[in-house]
Structure 1
């Protein structure tokens, strides 16, 4: 299989260039759907039937299952099609190759992973076609904004699966991901009363002052030793420097390490925001914790050990890490499905202008993936 994949490397890079050249930021439905159509056409050629879940605003979600299969799939793959980049980025910063690396918006997070997953399926169709009956794939269009439309779909298709393999990129050092912090977002919208700060300041009620009280109380919930962090990362407010602020907004990011922290933290945040510290102000709280943590379980470690064994056989040393960033792995893991993340190619600097793919890892990690699937299915 590795020789087959090696012979396809230029083909894989050409497809990667095509995908990177399509703007597919989470708010750009047309681009995400174009990526989905490009991938769907290729999956059709190897016998997969795409079921499209239409979305009105977000990109469509796609579930791929082998046509006319009478076998219940046992392995779920999840790979997102959206990126964090604004429309027009692909033209300003096109796909380029410099030395051993490829660059471009979304090249590692996670368009290289889409290429790797597709070509893993192509290799299996060539050498182990029976394995494809055991595979189901979710391509979603909104992971970068918390998977609001695809979470329920992922959970629906994860139910009853033996394994979930999430195609986020491997870390810079090649490590897979076995645990992630969960978290969510809140928005505080505060109303006060405007007044001229020089003529009648006594008639004003500062929404910014109220927001300041809330920021201090919310930040006090942070407990790094317990793996809890609360951060008001963006604030807005006021109309002019000489006006008592009639309104203010605070955007809150929260992270948790263990599932049982979610209820406590959510309750504390709501308690803080249910009554004002500055008389006369009012607070509207929106949001919540929308990603459970991916915890490192015994089942996860057993799956990792299988991947390590396969890695040893194909010449890839496997290490694993925990990370604070979120992914769809949290949804499958929280259902009790053994889950490994970071199974895509190696690269780094995701979400930045320096985002890159280590080109040599494209074939290497695709070959690892094909062999892992064969081992998990147990077909020779």
Structure 2
């Protein structure tokens, strides 16, 4: 295993701290601009052609590095789940031996460093072409950047995501699809004692609709398991008023596209049980199921072969969580995720990353870009 020297570790730590101190919660456009400016500076110095594209959520970075063959697409995000001032309160920056803590260091500012640090090592060497895209709204489902991801995926040989790996360092090949749905019911208000017959209870209707949802996701005819979680329920106001409105937000996870489409079609077709009630199903966010393919396995095999050249054993398997690679893998592009360094505590006050693993991932990406012939993906 190749470890970065003390000087390289110091530079990497400085960079990671700089990114961590640019607190960049989703939908904070000015914060995303600050992140994009710093990253653009580093990518430009590494010899990339850099441009920023903006959506209502903020700034997104696209970098192109000329090389051999069709490009590999490197995918990351600059937003985090952490609010401003977390680094001064709940998530202070700290370094304890190999363990680095701070908001977003694991998910996924360390992964962003892996990308650019490996690119910096490629000057004056034969290497494959690279395209990188760093979006600003991944943590909330990439609602404004999915079109950008599709555009950046045009003509690529494969895609590598820099989210965190499995706890043992294994890469992620295949991810459950993730969809959030709002089920909204409108009834009719009335006095619950003096005129109950004139009312239509939106809450009662919602309860029956949620039972119908449960039946849909547990249908034995579905091709695979569906995870369903009713995350929020709201409605009504007073016990003496028949409620006119109620809604629930539902989280769904899918293993394959046919099951996903069957369930979502059934949800769109939900009809009121009560006369006078109205039911609306609204898709809040959607990441399609990415089922591992033979092409994905081929890309994993090439990464594993490059890993052997730097004394690293690389494996991969499916993951439960969703990310931007769901879209790319579902499009049939050879895709692997989890190329970020080992650590833990994503989205929690225990968030941390391994500095040694950060160095290993830089070594591995360098080996992939230099040692893997472009014609083999």
Structure 2 length as normaliser, TM-score?
Answer: 0.91
Task: Give the distance between the partners of 1:295 and 1:362, measured in 2 at CA.
Answer: 28
Task: Give the distance between the partners of 2:86 and 2:201, measured in 1 at CA.
Answer: 40
Deviates more, 1:134-143 or 1:309-318: 309-318
Q: Unaligned 5+ residue runs, structure 1?
A: none
Aligned to 1:85: 82
* Residue 370 (structure 1) aligned with residue 369 (structure 2): no
Q: 2:96 aligns with which of 95, 98, 101?
A: 98
Answer whether contact 1:20 1:94 (CA < 8 A) is retained. Answer: no
Deviations 1:277-329 (A, max 9, x none): 13222122211672222221111111111222222232222222211211111
Aligned to 1:205: 200
Q: Match of 1:63, SS?
A: strand
Alignment: residue pair count? 371
Q: How does 1:1-380 map to 2 (within 5 A)?
A: 2=2, 7-55=7-55, 57-66=56-65, 69=66, 73-92=70-89, 93-125=91-123, 128-131=124-127, 134-223=129-218, 226-272=224-270, 275-287=271-283, 290-377=286-373
Q: Match of 1:76, SS?
A: strand
Answer whether contact 1:195 1:244 (CA < 8 A) is retained. Answer: yes
Task: Give the distance between the partners of 1:268 and 1:31, measured in 2 at CA.
Answer: 40
Deviations 1:215-268 (A, max 9, x none): 111122224981322332111111134432221111111221112223212211
Task: Give the distance between the partners of 1:36 and 1:90, measured in 2 at CA.
Answer: 20
Deviates more, 1:278-287 or 1:244-253: 278-287
Answer whether contact 2:178 2:286 (CA < 8 A) is retained. Answer: yes
Task: Give the distance between the partners of 1:6 and 1:114, measured in 2 at CA.
Answer: 20
CA-based RMSD = 2.3
Answer whether contact 1:168 1:341 (CA < 8 A) is retained. Answer: yes
Deviation at 1:99, TM superposition (A): 3.9
Answer whether contact 1:80 1:143 (CA < 8 A) is retained. Answer: yes
Deviation at 1:6, TM superposition (A): 5.7
Answer whether contact 1:5 1:367 (CA < 8 A) is retained. Answer: no
Answer whether contact 1:22 1:90 (CA < 8 A) is retained. Answer: no
Task: Give the distance between the partners of 2:118 and 2:277, measured in 1 at CA.
Answer: 57
Q: Match of 1:220, SS?
A: helix
Q: Match of 2:237, SS?
A: coil
Q: Match of 1:231, SS?
A: strand
Deviation at 1:137, TM superposition (A): 0.6
Task: Give the distance between the partners of 1:378 and 1:71, measured in 2 at CA.
Answer: 6
Answer whether contact 1:5 1:363 (CA < 8 A) is retained. Answer: no
Answer whether contact 1:235 1:248 (CA < 8 A) is retained. Answer: yes
Task: Give the distance between the partners of 2:96 and 2:193, measured in 1 at CA.
Answer: 59
Q: Match of 2:64, SS?
A: strand
Q: Unaligned 5+ residue runs, structure 2?
A: none
Answer whether contact 1:25 1:82 (CA < 8 A) is retained. Answer: yes
